[in-house]
Chains A and B, each alone.
Chain A
Amino acid sequence: GYMSALKDEL
């Protein structure tokens, strides 16, 4: 999804 790329950030 378009948001999952940021899941590795805080």
Chain B
Amino acid sequence: MNIFRFAGDMTHLISILVLLLKIYATKSCAGISLKTQELYALVFVTRYLDLFTDFISVYNSVMKVVFILTSSAIVWCMRRHRIVKRSYDQALDTFRHLFLVLGCLVLALIVHDKFTFQEVFWAFSIYLEAVAILPQLVLLQRSGNVDNLTGQYVFFLGAYRAFYILNWIYRYLTEQHFRLWISCISGLVQTALYADFFYYYYISWKNNSKLQLPS
């Protein structure tokens, strides 16, 4: 494991912890898209089907369990927690995420390594992760104002993507048999989706003002 991948994993973990902290501390999930959170939970569950069949390292297994549990906990809080669920912006969170799921499923059925249950769902999770942030970005766009913790959540998520791309470049240069193709393209798509957000995040940070997205 190289430093870029480790930094990517850590910023990914921090983004989830920031989100849990926001929900726990403010008892509110305002500005958070339930649809994006459901998609991430689905991404982790379908990608880590190998949890019990292929052992890579204790680090990998622990992180997989942590990601599945924390993403499920967030979805549970937003749907079921007596107080938290009241602050959910249902009227603004109208992205048709089922179409993303169906589109990724069709793509995974066409483009995959091997036609097995695990491999198809692994490919599905890679494609879905690339677009899972869309409902969240649309929700931020619609609500205009972004509170600090929500802004930091998306910031860390974007940092995770940037570190993973550096990791792939590093692996491409140092490992003989490392070829990316489809995963790299999905990774680039996912990272590009953040570019717009990062621009406004930078502007608000530079001016030391509240993050506001144009409508």
Contacts and interface: CB of A to CB of B under 8 A. Distances in A.
A5 to B, nearest CB: 5
Interface of A: 1-10
Contacts of A7: 50, 54, 56, 122
Grouping DSSP codes into helix (H, G, I), strand (E, B) and loop, the A interface class, with mixed when no group exceeds half, is loop
A3 B113 contact: yes
Contacts of B38: none
A8 B60 contact: yes
Grouping DSSP codes into helix (H, G, I), strand (E, B) and loop, the B interface class, with mixed when no group exceeds half, is helix
Contacts of A5: 171, 175, 177-180
Given A3-B122, A3-B123, A10 B12 contact: yes
B54 A2 contact: no
Contact of A4 (B9, B63, B113, B164): B113
5 A-B pairs with the lowest CB-CB distances in the bound complex, closest first:
A1-B113, A3-B113, A2-B181, A5-B178, A8-B56
B60 A10 contact: yes
